[in-house]
Structure 1
Amino acid sequence: MFELRDLYQQVIVDHNKSPRNFGKLARFNHEADGYNPLCGDKLHVYLNVNDAGIIEAVSFEGEGCAISVASASLMTEALKGTPVSEFKQKFEGFQHMVTSDLDELPDEAVMGKLAVLSGVREFPSRIKCASLCWHTVKSAVEDSHKVAKTE
């Protein structure tokens, strides 16, 4: 188990230092702001959803703790090519994973690389850091003009 934890930490460090899909998209048709007042994490997400309802591109800008940045980076990779109609299922799956009992192993076949974030369950205050980007994309998909918060 210790080796797995080390691997998870390495992935989080890598995505924090070199976040994927960081920056403003040239073309986007959905966007939203997110803010975690507990930690000070702030981000802005951009989505380009095509006429068929597929998330063709997703990116983010902002600043935050390592968990917040790594989570946003991993999330953008996981959402590319996802139909908006399936976003809610992915959102709920992620929320379940980061809030489930510690003895419940994440379903890596379903969660993919996002499973590395299951360790935040051990630190309840960090759950909000990991889930901020998901709440922000939810606001973007719903065209809500409210700042997404994890409170």
Structure 2
Amino acid sequence: MANEQDIYEEHVLDHYEDPFHRGPLDDATHADEGKNPLCGDVIQIALKLDDEGRIREAWFEGEGCVISQASASMLIEKVEGKTVDEVKDFSAEEMLELFGPKLTPNRQKCCLLSWRVLQSALHSPIDGEADADADAAGGSPRFGGPSLSEES
């Protein structure tokens, strides 16, 4: 019989190898990206909010370690269908619980990257100017913040 740690590790690897909603969201209403400067993990999150303040669709893209990418998949799966207020109330501690295995402080930063990006994406609507840029770039939303070359 597998112990609890083994089950969590299998769950983490499942999300890493077969992530939930990984890819672009062409008709996103909100989006943002972030980077963990300690290790180089990158996460972009795109959301489609409805008029009632509910997340109708949530997608992510990114590069990085198993922890950062698996936690992004877990988070996106958890928040889809939730209200903006429910997502704003979802704490960093709850994110670490959702992930499962106990992590060192540095690895917690990998896990919490997607949570930080999601929280900022809620406050980052894609306005008309960004939509024009996205159309020119082939329909994908532009993410706020510095480019990877600009961030140290």
Common fold: TM-score over 0.5: yes
Partner Cα distance (2:84, 2:95) in 1: 22
2:71 is matched with 71
Of the candidates 84, 91, 101, which is equivalent to residue 119 of structure 1? 101
Aligned match of 1:37: 37
Cα deviation code 1:62-92 (max 9, x no counterpart): 11100000000000100011000111211x1
For 1:87 and 1:146, the matched residues in 2 are separated by 21
- Distance in 2, matches of 1:82 and 1:98, equals 15
The percentage of aligned residue pairs carrying the same residue is: 35
Higher deviation after alignment, 19-28 or 3-12:
19-28
Deviation sequence 1:82-120 (CA, Å, 0-9, x none): 000111211x1xx12467xxxxxx5xxxxxxx2xx2424
Of Structure 1 and Structure 2, the greater helix share is in: 1
TM-score by length of 1: 0.78
5+ residue gaps, structure 1, are: 100-105, 107-113
- How many residues align? The count is 128
Which structure is larger by alpha-carbon Rg, 1 or 2? 2
Runs of 4 or more, structure 1, over 4 Å off, are none
> SS where residue 129 of structure 1 aligns?
helix
What residue ranges of structure 2 are gaps of 5+ in the alignment? 126-143, 147-152
Which residue of 120, 135, 138 maps to 2:116? 135
2:93 matched to which residue of 1?
Answer: 96
